[in-house]
Structure 1
Amino acid sequence: MASGFEGLAAAIPQLAGCSLMLEHPQYLVVEKPSGLLSQPGLGSHQNDSLITRLQRCCPELRLVHRLDRDTSGLILVARNQGSLRCLSALFEARQVQKLYLADVIRPLSGRRGRIQLPLARLQRLPPVYGPHPGGKPSFTLWRKWSPDGDCRRLWLRPLTGRSHQLRAHLAAVGAPICADPIYSACNDPGPMHLHAHALSFRDPFDHRRVRVRSELPIWAQPD
C-alpha cells in the first residue's frame, strides 16, 4: 500500500479497481466502473465504494462530486480539505463542463435538443426522480452521435447537477437509457449505457484550462 501519495499511480488501479486519468498536486481524476458506489450507502452491504477504496491508499482523498452506482466514468477527487473547498466551489458556480455518452431505447426526434423539466424525488426507496411542478429547475442538452435519424447514441451535457438528472430527463421524454435498472422497463443485460466521458474546468490553483477525456466504454466501442 502506498504511503501518502508515494506510488499513487500504481496503487490506485490495484486497490480501487479504477483508472487514474490525471494526477495533479491538488486533485485527481479517476474513472469509476459501472456497479460501484461513489460513496458508502446505507447499511453494511453498501460499505464498498470508490472513495473508501481510494482512502485505503490515501486517507486524505475526498470526493468533489458523485456518479450514480450504475454510471461509469470520470470523477474529480480532491487531495485534501483545502482543495476540496476550491473544487467544490467550481461545481457550485457551474463552472465545470461535463460530457456524457448514452444509448437510449428509442431515437429522439431531430439532431439536437434541450430537455427543460423541473425534477423532484417521487419515491424514496429505491430513489426515483421525475418531472414535478415543485421540482428543481433542471436543464440537459443532447446531440446525436451521428446524423442518422435512427441513431440511439447521444452526447449529453447537463447544465444543472440534479440527482438522476440525465436518467430521469430521458425517461420523461420516452427514451430511457439502455439497461437502466430504475427508469427502463427493458431488462437488458450488462451495464447501464451511461458514461461520464469528459470533464473540463479552469484549474483554480494555476488557472490553466483542464480537459480530461476517457476511453469509450466497452458498450460504445466499435465491433
Structure 2
Amino acid sequence: MRPRAREVQVSNVPLIHEDEHILVFSKPDGLLAVPGRGLDKQDCLSTRAQARWPDALVVHRLDMATSGLVVMARGIEAQRALSLAFEERRVHKRYTAVVAGELINPQPDNGWNTIDLPLMADWPNRPMQKVSLEAGKPSTTRWRIASQPSAPGTTRLELEPVTGRTHQLRVHLQALGHPMVGDALYAAPDQHAMASRLLLHAHWLSLPHPVHGQTMEFHSPCPF
C-alpha cells in the first residue's frame, strides 16, 4: 500500500542547525530532497521538515543518491535572501567523493584543479546529463585529493562546485575518466558494483545568514 503524505513522519534525518530563519539537515542517501511524482514519492526531506516546521521552504536540493548538508529557509523572506545568496555564489559547498581509478593531482602541494566543461540534459537518456561544448551551459568544478585514504583502485576527492548544474560533479568526474564509485547512472557496471550506494557526500556548507548576514559554516561527517 502506498503511503499518504499525511502519514510521513519526521525521522532519521539529523538536524544540524535550527533557528528562527534557517534549518540545516544532513540528508541520508536514498531520501528525496523534494516530493516526486506519485503518492509513493511524497516521503522526502522537505515533507518531513514541513511536518515539524510548517514554514520550512526549499532553497536547494541534493540528488536522491547523494547524502549530506541541505539548508531550508523558514519563511518567504529567508527563502528569498538565501536564493539570492545562491544566485550570487555567496554560498559555498564542498563534497567528499570516491572515484574509480587512481587519480594524480597535477598541482603542487595538492592544490585545487579546475574542470570547465559545459553541461546539458541528455534528452534521450533522461535524467542523465552530458558534456556538450556546443550547447551546454557553463559548468565549473574544483577538485583535489582528500587527506583521508581510499581503497586500492580508487581515489578519495574533495570537490567544490562553482556552478550548480544537475549531476555536475558526477558528470565532470566521469568526463575525467574517473566516475564515482557506486554511481548507477554514470559508472560502468563493475564500478557501480564496488559500493552499495553512490559515494558522494556534501560535508561542508558556508552561507550568509539570511537576516544578520553573518557567515555560518556547517559540517557533516562523511559516512563512507
Do the structures match in fold with TM over 0.5? yes
Task: Choose which of 185, 196, 202 in structure 2 pairs with 1:196.
Answer: 202
After TM superposition, the runs of 4+ consecutive aligned structure 1 residues lying more than 6 A away are: none
The structure 1 residue matched to 2:102, chosen from 107, 111, 117, is 107
Residue 169 (structure 1) shift:
0.5
Query: What is residue 118 of structure 2 aligned with on the other side?
Result: 118
1:197–1:213 CA contact under 8 A, matched in 2: yes
Quick one: distance in 2 between partners of 1:93 and 1:124? 32
Cα 1:206–1:94 change in 2 (3 A) is: same
Partner of 2:23: 28
State the Cα RMSD in Å.
Answer: 2.0
- 2:222 paired with 1:187: no
- Equivalent residue number for residue 35 of structure 2: 40
Please tell me whether the aligned partners of residues 99 and 154 of structure 2 are also in contact (alpha carbons under 8 angstroms): no
Count of aligned residue pairs for this structure pair: 205
Query: Residue 177 of structure 2: which of 164, 174, 177 is its match?
Result: 174
In the alignment, residue 57 of structure 2 is paired with which amino acid? Answer: R
Among 66, 69, 78, which residue is 2:73 paired with?
A: 78
Secondary structure of the 1:91 match is helix
Q: Quote the residue 1:159 is aligned against.
A: 162
Pairwise CA distance, 1:126:
4.0
Residue type at the aligned position of 1:71? T
Which deviates the most, 86-95 or 56-65?
56-65
Q: TM-score, normalised to structure 2's length?
A: 0.85
Report the TM-score, using the length of structure 1 for normalisation.
Answer: 0.86
Q: Compute the displacement of 1:216 (Å).
A: 2.1
Distance 1:23 1:97, change over 3 A: same
Shift of 1:37: 0.5
Q: For 1:105-164, what per-residue CA distance to the aligned partner results, in whole angstroms no more than 9, with x for missing partners?
A: 11223244111100000136540011012110000000101498x760000000001010
Letter in 1 for 2:130: G
Contact 1:27 1:79 survives alignment (8 Å) = yes
State whether residues 144 and 159 of structure 2, in contact with CA within 8 Å, keep that contact through their aligned partners in structure 1.
Answer: yes
**Contact persistence 2:24–2:70 (CA under 8 A):** yes
CA separation in 2, counterparts of 1:104 and 1:211?
Answer: 26
Q: Within 1, Cα distance between the matches of 2:187 and 2:154?
A: 18
Q: Choose which of 216, 221, 224 in structure 2 pairs with 1:215.
A: 221
Q: Distance in 2 between matches of 1:169 and 1:16?
A: 33
Matched, 1:145 2:146: yes
One-letter amino acid matched to 1:142: W
Unaligned runs of 5+ in 1: 1-13
**Cα contact 1:144–1:151 (8 A) shared by 2:** no
Query: Which runs of no fewer than 5 residues in structure 2 stay unpaired?
Result: 1-8
